[in-house]
Amino acid sequence: MRRSTRKLIDRSFSGLGVMSIVLMAAALLVILAPIFVRGLGAIFFRGTVEFRRMQLEQFERGSRAAVEEETAAAAAARAPVYRMLAEFEEELSAMAAEERRQYAGQLREVRELVTELLGPAPGTPAPVLPRDQYGQTRWDRARFKLDLLLQRTEYDYSDAARMGREVRVDRARDFAGTRLEPLFDYLRAHAREMLRPRLTAYLRFLTDAPLDSHFFGGIWPAILGTLYLTLGAMLFALPMGVISAVYLVEYAGQGRLISLLRTCVSTLAGVPSIVFALFGLAFFIHSLHVTPGKSIIAGSMTLAALILPTIIRASEEAIRAVPETYKEAALSLGAGKWRAVITVILPASLPGILTGTVISMGRAAGETAPIIFTAAVSVGKAVELFQARFWEALAQPTPALPWNIYNLATEHEAVDEIRHVQFGMVFVLVLLVLLLNAAAIALRARVARRLRG
């Protein structure tokens, strides 16, 4: 082979490596970008007058006078819409029966969409569910609804070989010649006046309770539930993990028993998380009866079993990294083994242990499968931990971010309507985990600096 070819192969080989890393980084970016952008959209968005009205009526926020003034202005802009609808209805009653039937269905659709966009028409009785009491609270959703209102979708099946193709049809064309025809131009031109979008920072998204199954409000109970479950898991796993690590490093010889224990730790690390879920259900709930059903405490225990091997491994590594000479110095001063471990070895390995702990906290916070059967419910109040009966609070099930993300994205009655809430939850969860990891990285950097210095 020529030298130039060998060189080319060498270069392209390096190129391949770099490309794979670029691909990996790109994958990360592609996954994180929508989560961050649309997740932030749950907090920062253009809120309509309906949003401010909802905030005032449901949460008692904002100035009543300002909102009422704005509502009045919006109502003035909306008046022509209702007028046109009413006029068309009159026109309709004058039409022939067959023509009337043809228009009636389409009119019903338009009316429904107008209600969805702007809220119930003035004069109609207030609906029961909050979600029906308001029009679109977010301008992006409003634009989407407006689009549905202006155009309807048809499927073109003329080509039998292929799947039906989508065709958008202007509704104005459906109503051509009637008194409803100008409605669509009016809606297009005056949507802003009717909904008055304005940039809104809904920071309370993080601390509000959800309203009407997440149509409105925030995600506080889920955040709180995740925190409780994570901290609870740490409470069980951290002492056990650190003690196990100390024993494995400092106390145990290289016997059979220890290699068996090590194999067990790595086996535990390899058990699929869904198996932990079944184990938690069968053991903590059905056998031990820790609580009669799902609860924070059962979920924490299951998560603790899941992260135990991670903590053991990280702590073991951190303890091994402590120079042997520290221990020798302590022992040569007459310290017992215990004392050497507690006063010298653990403090010296603490940053390393904390790094591992923080990373496994991230893992515990993000795990979904183990809490499905042991702790998580889709709808629930924020658990008040500091109440008179502490134990009872812990024995309650709780919403939790990972589970609620799954639930809202797949099982919610109106999955598409609350995409922003789903993205907001994913964003908060990912941010939480990334912050924990950043803390771990910072800790590690500090340790490295100290070991060098």
Closest approach of other proteins to the CB of residue 377, in Å: 11
Cβ-proximal residues to 156 (8 Å cutoff; 6+ apart), any chain: 164, 165, 166, 167
Give the Cα separation of 40 and 7 in Å (integer): 48
Footprint on residues 329-348 left by other proteins (CB under 8 A): 329-336, 338-339, 343-344, 347-348
Minimum CB separation of residue 33 from other proteins in Å reads 9
Cβ–Cβ under 8 Å, residues 270 and 310: no
Nearer to other proteins, 102 or 263 (CB): 263
Choices 144-152, 182-190, 380-388, 417-425; region in contact with other proteins by CB under 8 A = 417-425
Q: Considering beta carbons, is residue 197 or 362 the nearer one to other proteins?
A: 362
Q: Where in 196-255 is the site for other proteins (CB under 8 A)?
A: 240, 243-244, 246-248, 251-254
Give the C-alpha separation, 229 to 299, whole Å.
Answer: 7
Largest distance between two CA atoms of the chain:
107
Rg of the chain, C-alpha, whole Å? 31
Please report how close the Cβ of residue 135 comes to other proteins at its closest, in angstroms.
24
Are 176 and 74 spatial neighbours (Cβ–Cβ below 8 Å)? Answer: no
Q: Number of residues in contact with other proteins, rule: CB under 8 A?
A: 115
Cα–Cα distance between 360 and 87 in angstroms, integer? 65
Structure tokens at 402: 């990972």
- Report if residue 20 touches other proteins, rule: CB under 8 A: yes
Smaller CB distance to other proteins: residue 149 or 372? Answer: 372
CB nearer to other proteins: give 187 or 418: 418
Q: Give the nearer residue to other proteins in terms of CB position, either 330 or 383.
A: 330
Site mask for other proteins (CB under 8 A), range 281-320, x = bound:
xxx--xx-----------------x--xx--x--------
The nearest distance, CB 372 to other proteins, in angstroms, is 6
CA angle 148, 151, 155 (to 5 degrees): 100
Q: Is 43 in the site for other proteins (CB under 8 A)?
A: no
Contacts of 139 (CB under 8 A, 6+ apart): 45, 46, 47, 48, 195, 197
**Do residues 295 and 371 make contact, with C-beta atoms less than 8 angstroms apart?**
no
In the bound state with other proteins, the residue whose beta carbon lies nearer, of 79 and 435, is 435
CB 225 within 8 A of CB 379: no
101-139 burial string, b = 16+ CB within 10 Å, else e?
Answer: eebeeebeebeebbebbbbeeeeeeeeeebbebbbbbbb
**Is residue 2 involved in binding other proteins (CB under 8 A)?**
yes
**Considering the rule CB under 8 A, would residue 406 count as an interface residue with other proteins?**
yes
The only residue of 153, 158, 325, 387 in contact with other proteins, by rule CB under 8 A: 325
Joined together, the tokens standing for residue 200 give 């809104």
Q: Is 18 in the site for other proteins (CB under 8 A)?
A: yes
Quick check: 373 binds other proteins (CB under 8 A)? Answer: yes
Is 441 a binding residue for other proteins by CB under 8 A? The answer is yes
* Out of 176, 235, 274, 414, the residue judged to bind other proteins by CB under 8 A: 274
CA proximity to 282, closest of 373, 204, 187: 373
For other proteins, the binding residue among 123, 125, 272, 292 (CB under 8 A) is 272
> In angstroms, rounded to a whole number, what is the distance separating the alpha carbons of residues 197 and 147?
16
Tell me if 50 sits within 8 A of 437, measured CB to CB: no
Binding of residue 278 to other proteins (CB under 8 A): yes
Of residues 167 and 275, the one with the C-beta less far from other proteins: 275
Please tell me the distance from the alpha carbon of residue 8 to that of residue 2, in angstroms, as a whole number: 10
Q: Looking only at residues 142 through 201 of this chain, which bind other proteins when binding is defined by CB under 8 A?
A: 162-163
Nearest in space to 205 (alpha carbons), one of 223, 185, 188: 223
Q: Say whether residue 27 binds other proteins (CB under 8 A).
A: yes
Which of 81, 372, 377, 393 lies at the binding interface for other proteins (CB under 8 A)? 372
Does residue 399 touch other proteins according to CB under 8 A? no
Q: Which region among 40-48, 87-95, 137-145, 428-436 touches other proteins (by CB under 8 A)?
A: 428-436
